[in-house]
């Protein structure tokens, strides 16, 4: 049952809460917060909002219009299981204090508008998302950047490079070889208890977990899968998920990262996004007479996502590092086709179950560095564009794409090769995001401008491997 303002105040009293933590998501997916003594919180604060300096938040306000309001959503309240001082957390929406209207650059507001737009189209009334967020746990993380140096160093007790390391008490082996980390049991999988602790903490904050396991790469690559939920609720949960992962990792002497490609020569981390649309409690993506039991509505949704995929990836694979993972020839989901089983296709149709309720599409190119509110909204808007305009996807491709001849692969579109290319695509193709006022021009302009600066920052710096290739040439 969703909590009300009165429920929140009662919970504070009943559980001896001492601190109230108000959190919101910035334009680029970071979780921001401030805290106040629980004794100060009143019902008026919950309805009127709490002030903060919007100009200090990257991508938000200019300094001459800095005053903003956080409006706590009581339905998101949970007791933080990671903090020593009893703390109640609430997710907030951002409000303009002058007009008392939702802020156009608040990602959660965008997600709410996306859900409302879906209903307004008449296509459906509910969109479900189920992201599979992957991450690495490292025991030692060091990086440095200056005018005359650049370096990084990562380590993990599981790393195959530690097979010859001198370890106090003796090296006990059981290291994970490159690309052989999928599903080994302990003692090879050293992170079983840590992931189990993570999912128990997640349950305490309202996240229902389906499973967890070690992922393919050496050196602590993990996956924890949440049960699907509606768009805004799932984005809220993914923010909690990432917080819990980082906090539990830290208590065990690890550092967690959702960077898509921290290691050279091994698998990267993605965030496969399962999605479907329902209406009046019934799934719309099932038809037993169609390919992969996928209805025409779902096929048009696929068509929209594939058509707009280059632009989508500026939001869904939003870092320069994302494109170290999305590289042709390495089993990455870079082919803009769909398939029942082919995992190098950008969209896969899961075949584990033939139930109408489980029929969904899985967009495999995103990663967990994305802002979930913006990413889920953008995918939904692309899919709806496909449905409303009856965009046919290319024919499904169930063959091994890497075995095709160059001529056979000639018509297969690929994902952008860099963040700069994805941003170019977003600049050229964003009208579908503006439908229903879901995204706004000012949000996209601010987002693209900030991301352009990231690409420039990287391009200006010599890469360490350039010295290996060129220094003595």
Annotated ligand binding at 272? The verdict is yes
- State yes or no: 325 annotated in a binding site: yes
Tell me which fold the domain 5-103 belongs to: Ubiquitin-like (UB roll) (3.10.20)
Q: Nearest 5°: CA angle at 442, between 441 and 448? A: 85
User: Residue 177 contacts by C-beta under 8 Å, 6 or more apart in sequence?
Assistant: 160, 218
- Tell whether residue 197 is among the known ligand binding residues: no
276 is in an annotated binding site: yes
Residue 253 CB neighbours (<10 A): 11
Q: State pLDDT tens for residues 99-115.
A: 889 999 999 999 999 99
Can you give the pLDDT of all 473 residues of the chain as single tens digits? 578 999 999 999 999 999 999 999 999 999 999 999 999 999 999 999 999 888 888 888 765 667 889 999 999 999 999 999 999 999 999 998 888 899 999 999 999 999 999 999 999 999 999 999 999 999 999 999 999 999 999 999 999 999 999 999 999 899 999 988 898 999 999 999 999 999 999 999 999 999 999 999 999 999 999 999 999 999 999 999 999 999 999 999 999 999 999 999 999 999 999 999 999 999 999 999 999 999 999 999 999 999 999 999 999 999 999 999 998 766 789 999 999 877 689 999 988 788 999 999 999 999 999 999 999 999 999 999 999 999 999 999 887 777 777 777 778 899 999 999 999 999 999 999 999 999 999 999 999 999 999 999 999 999 999 999 999 98
Q: Enumerate the domain spans of the chain.
A: 5-103, 126-470
Paired tokens of 356: 């109408």
Q: What is the CA radius of gyration of the chain?
A: 23
The residues annotated as belonging to the active site are 53, 132, 134, 215, 223, 272, 343, 362, 364
Pairing state between β 67-72 and 87-95: antiparallel
CATH T-level topology, domain 126-470: Creatine Kinase; Chain A, domain 2 (3.30.590)
Do 334 and 414 meet the contact criterion of CB atoms below 8 Å apart? yes
User: Do the Cβ atoms of 363 and 346 come closer than 8 Å?
Assistant: yes
> Is 120 assigned a ligand-binding role in the annotation?
no
Q: Is 331 annotated as a binding-site member?
A: yes
Q: What is the pLDDT of residue 352?
A: 78
Query: Is omega for the bond preceding 199 within 30 degrees of 0, making it cis?
Result: no
Strand 335-339 to strand 345-348: parallel, antiparallel, or no bridges (unpaired)?
parallel
Place of tokens 């909590």: 3
List Cα–Cα distances, 212 to 139, 199, 254, 281, 370, in angstroms: 20, 8, 18, 29, 21
Which of 134, 126, 96 lies closest to 216 in space, CA to CA?
134
133 bridge partner residues? 224, 271
pLDDT, tens digit, 9 for 90 and up, residues 412-423: 899 999 999 999
């Amino acid at each position: 049952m969703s909590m009300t303002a009165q429920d929140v105040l009662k919970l504070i009293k009943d559980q001896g809460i001492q601190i109230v933590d108000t959190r919101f998501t910035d334009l680029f997916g970071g979780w921001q917060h401030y805290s106040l003594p629980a004794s100060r919180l009143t019902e008026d604060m919950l309805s009127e909002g709490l002030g903060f300096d919007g100009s200090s938040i990257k991508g938000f306000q200019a300094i001459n219009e800095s005053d903003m309001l956080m409006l706590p959503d009581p339905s998101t309240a949970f007791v933080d299981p990671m903090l020593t001082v009893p703390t109640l957390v609430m997710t907030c929406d951002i409000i303009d204090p002058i007009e008392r209207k939702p802020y156009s650059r608040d990602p959660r507001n965008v997600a709410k508008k996306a859900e409302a737009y879906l209903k307004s189209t008449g296509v459906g009334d509910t969109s479900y998302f189920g992201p599979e967020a992957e991450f690495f746990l490292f025991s030692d993380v060091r990086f440095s950047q200056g005018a005359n140096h650049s370096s990084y160093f990562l380590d993990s007790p599981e790393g195959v490079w530690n097979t010859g390391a001198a370890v106090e008490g003796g090296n006990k082996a059981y290291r994970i070889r490159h690309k052989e980390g999928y599903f080994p049991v302990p003692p090879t999988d050293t992170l079983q208890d840590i992931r189990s602790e993570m999912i128990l903490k997640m349950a305490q904050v309202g996240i229902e977990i389906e499973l967890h396991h070690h992922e393919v790469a050496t050196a602590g690559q993990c996956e924890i899968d949440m049960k699907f939920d509606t768009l805004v609720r799932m984005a809220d949960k993914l923010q909690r998920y990432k917080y819990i992962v980082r906090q539990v990792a830290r208590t065990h002497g690890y550092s967690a990262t959702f960077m898509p490609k921290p290691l050279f020569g091994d698998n990267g981390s993605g965030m496969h996004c399962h999605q479907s649309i329902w209406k009046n409690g019934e799934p719309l993506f099932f038809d037993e007479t169609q390919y992969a039991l996928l209805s025409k509505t779902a096929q048009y949704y696929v068509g929209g996502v594939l058509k707009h995929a280059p632009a989508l990836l500026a939001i869904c694979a939003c870092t320069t590092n994302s494109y170290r993972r999305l590289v042709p020839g390495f089993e990455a989901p870079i082919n803009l086709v769909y398939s029942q089983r082919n995992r190098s296709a950008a969209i896969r149709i899961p075949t584990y179950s033939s139930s109408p309720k489980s029929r969904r599409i899985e967009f495999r190119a995103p990663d967990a560095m994305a802002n979930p509110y913006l990413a889920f909204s953008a995918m939904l808007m692309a899919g709806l564009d496909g449905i409303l305009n009856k965009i046919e996807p290319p024919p499904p491709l169930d063959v091994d794409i890497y075995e095709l001849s160059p001529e056979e692969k000639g018509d297969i579109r690929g994902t952008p090769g860099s963040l700069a290319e994805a941003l170019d695509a977003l600049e050229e193709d964003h009208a579908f995001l503006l439908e229903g006022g879901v995204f706004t021009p000012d949000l996209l302009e601010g987002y693209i401008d900030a991301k352009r600066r990231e690409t420039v920052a990287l391009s200006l710096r010599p890469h360490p491997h350039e010295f290996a290739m060129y220094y003595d040439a």
